[in-house]
């Protein structure tokens, strides 16, 4: 009877251990599935984070380009205003229409954009100043001949 009891006791112990082992396998399987879900969520989050990082970098580049563009525009405007003020210097001493025309031709030869040191902005400023001064010296009856 002791042998039967021992055998029965061992069988019960084995059954209990199998149930415990099956339960642990199920828990492990559930934890593994949960881990896989968490890992998938993390992967998606990292992908989204990378997209957001790239978008922020792109926005930074665009902002930097806009700032550079505005800075260049301000510099160009200041440069253009300086040329406007300086253009009157080119015609200093030209106090009649003939002298004005001769000075204009000489300046065009120097600053024309086809020349090695030609400058478009300076040439435009010279043209505007010439037009302004020419109106001062232009006699109305000569305009229509």
Residue 85: predicted pLDDT:
57
- pLDDT at position 145 is 47
How remote is the C-alpha of 112 from its chain's centroid?
35
Distance separating alpha carbons of residues 135 and 128, to the nearest angstrom = 11
Per-residue buried b or exposed e for 72-84, using 16+ beta carbons within 10 Å of the residue's own CB? eeeeeeeeeeebe
Grouping H, G, I as helix, E, B as strand and the rest as coil, residue 119 is: coil
Give me the pLDDT at residue 33, please: 95
**129 touches 88 (CB < 8 A):** yes
Which pLDDT belongs to residue 14? Answer: 92
Q: Where are the domains of the chain?
A: 1-90, 92-145
Question: Which stretches in the chain have pLDDT values below 70?
Answer: 1-2, 76-85, 139-145
What was the pLDDT predicted at 1?
56
């Amino acid at each position: 009877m002791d042998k039967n009891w021992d055998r029965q006791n061992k069988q019960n112990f084995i059954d209990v251990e199998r149930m415990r082992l099956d339960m642990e396998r199920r828990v492990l399987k559930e934890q593994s599935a949960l881990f896989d879900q968490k890992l998938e969520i993390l992967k998606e989050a990292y992908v989204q984070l990378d997209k957001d990082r790239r978008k922020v970098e792109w926005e930074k580049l665009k902002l930097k380009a806009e700032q550079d563009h505005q800075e260049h525009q301000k510099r160009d405007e200041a440069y253009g205003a300086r040329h406007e003020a300086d253009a009157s210097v080119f015609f200093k001493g030209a106090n009649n229409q003939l002298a004005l025309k001769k000075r204009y031709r000489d300046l065009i030869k120097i600053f024309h954009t086809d020349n090695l040191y030609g400058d478009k902005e300076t040439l435009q400023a010279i043209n505007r100043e010439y037009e302004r001064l020419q109106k001062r010296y232009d006699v109305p009856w000569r305009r229509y001949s």
